Amino acid sequence: MLTSIIFLTLFVISTGTKGTQHLSASSDAEELKDRIQGAIIGVFIGDALGVGVHWQYDLAKLEADRGFVTDYLDPLPGSYHSGTENAPGRGKLKAGQLEQQGVIDKLLLESLAENLELNQNDFFDRFEKVILRDPAMDGTRQGGSHGWTDKSVCDIYDCRIVQKRPWSDCASPRSDTPDAVVRAALIAPLYYQNPKKMAVAIQKHAKAATMDSSVQAHSVAFGSMVAAAIQGVPLTHQMRDFLYQQPGRALPYTSLLSTQDSNPDYGHFTEPDSLLWFGSIADGVKEFKKSIKPAHRGVLLYGQFCAFFASLSSAYYCTARFPNDFEDAVLCSINGGGQNTMRTSLVGALLGAKVGLSGIPPRFIDGLEESDYLISLAGRIAEAALRHNDEGDEWYWPTEIDMDFTIGSADSATSHASEEAPPVNAISDDDFVGAGGGSFEQQSAFVLVLLGVFFGIVVSFISSRISASSLSPSPTERLDGPPPQTMYDSI
């Protein structure tokens, strides 16, 4: 009996406290490359999917005109990017092409693939040549070759072309759009193994685009999510639990574990709230998703407009709603209307990192203009990323000791079930143990077994004493019979 108890206890310990599992470059190079390419291509798929239905806020009209959007579409006459006489802008795009922000994303991808690091000056040169010196660009919202020019680009045009100021003076003082957040999804894969270097690169790129410190902090947070997803961290509450372990260890955010609040390479740290945002939305989705149907209508809760606090939160909603399904997640975003190009780029990056390039439906790749070229660039970045592994600049992979620091209740350690079955090649939530080093069910089972062992020993002891007492002969019988048996004799 004692042997059985010990064996059972050891078994539960081995399953209930297994260490955090993640993909390492040495053992899973092909899968990591697939995930890196998936994250990068997801950005461009998201942008192109939105071109045909961009900035349409009336969902009833969108559904009446186009039904439920499932693929790339040509813009309707009179809509953004259609190029017709009554369209808002002059540029004309077709199904599968990139709008202006997607083209800027491609410029950054080309720069990263050629330099195998963030070279901000090289990116500036490409940006000026292709975007600012575009013959159709005149500094107005209607100008440019891509159907519409964002205000952030108009501001840069005025600073760089009209005023002829240096790039260092051209960061917008008030831009709160998620341009830099989306591009963080392209930088993060290159540095996915080295969080400190990744954060510095993303921060540098974001500061060159906007002086809004919130956009900068959320760019780093989003890049961190992409890097974590590449390594197998699930797109559930566990993402929050994992990221919350990094401040003071790997990421430049303030922490209870460290007194450091700045460093020379990064600058001043912010509070880690941007690392927690996705997990809070994931908890809300778990609680209320049954009452939000169809799923894309949930975008209305977070905002369809362009500011990062609407685009990012609604992207987090679509991701949390379908954490294992690339197609359902991006279609949730596209059909949510509004600023659905950048929102869907954000969703595409996260789900692409989750399922990998091989897990993306082929029609999204086949219909994307220059997809082979983009995939080849992503492949070069992936190969370089697998070689980037600076000693001393690593993620902190939590253990069971960290449960005391985990955000959320014990219930937050249970996984969110996807509304669709996970892809075959995806790591399931059960394969990853979050900040606690074991799922809540496993830890609970461990505690229950320990209690069972304790009470089992107590009951066994009491039963043996009672048995010994009831079977012992009377004093008179003992004189004639054999010596009484005690519980020690039976062991």
What distance in Å separates the CA atoms of residue 340 and residue 348, rounded to the nearest whole number? 11
| Tokens read off for 35 | 């995930």
429 has pLDDT over 50 = no
Higher pLDDT, 486 or 356: 356
Average pLDDT over residues 450-458: 55
Superfamily of the domain at 19-437? ADP-ribosylation/Crystallin J1 (1.10.4080.10)
274 token code pair: 């941007």
Per DSSP bridges, beta strands 262-263 and 267-268 are antiparallel
Pick from 304-313, 339-348, 461-470: least confident: 461-470
SS3 341: helix
pLDDT band at 48 (very low <50, low <70, confident <90, very high): very high
* Residue 440 · residue 28 · CB < 8 Å: no
Rounded Cα gap, residues 389 and 383, in angstroms: 12
Residue-level length of the chain: 491
Q: Which amino acid is at 258?
A: S
Average pLDDT over residues 311-333: 98
> In sequence order, which residues have a C-beta less than 8 Å from that of residue 337 and are 6 or more positions away?
53, 56, 57, 58, 59, 62, 299, 304
Q: What is the mean pLDDT of residues 443-456?
A: 50
For the CA atoms of 329, 212, 155, 219, the dihedral, rounded to the nearest 10 degrees, stands at -30
pLDDT tens-digit profile of 74-96? 999 999 998 898 888 888 999 99
Q: How far apart are CA 470 and CA 219, in angstroms?
A: 75
**What are the tens digits of pLDDT across the range 220-278?**
999 999 999 999 999 999 999 999 999 989 999 999 878 889 999 999 999 999 999 99
Alpha carbon separation from 92 to 148, 371, 407 (Å, rounded)? 9, 20, 48
**Among 347, 398, 349, 357, which residue's Cα sits nearest to residue 240?**
398
Q: What is the pLDDT of residues 2-18, one digit of tens each?
A: 444 443 343 333 333 34
Please give the C-alpha separations between residue 459 and each of 93, 151, 279, 466, in angstroms, as whole numbers. 78, 75, 44, 10
Task: Check whether the bond before 323 is cis (ω within 30° of 0).
Answer: no
Q: What is the pLDDT of residues 264-299, one digit of tens each?
A: 999 999 999 999 999 999 999 999 988 899 999 999
d(CA 92, CA 178): 23
pLDDT of 124 > 50? The answer is yes
Prediction pTM value: 0.80
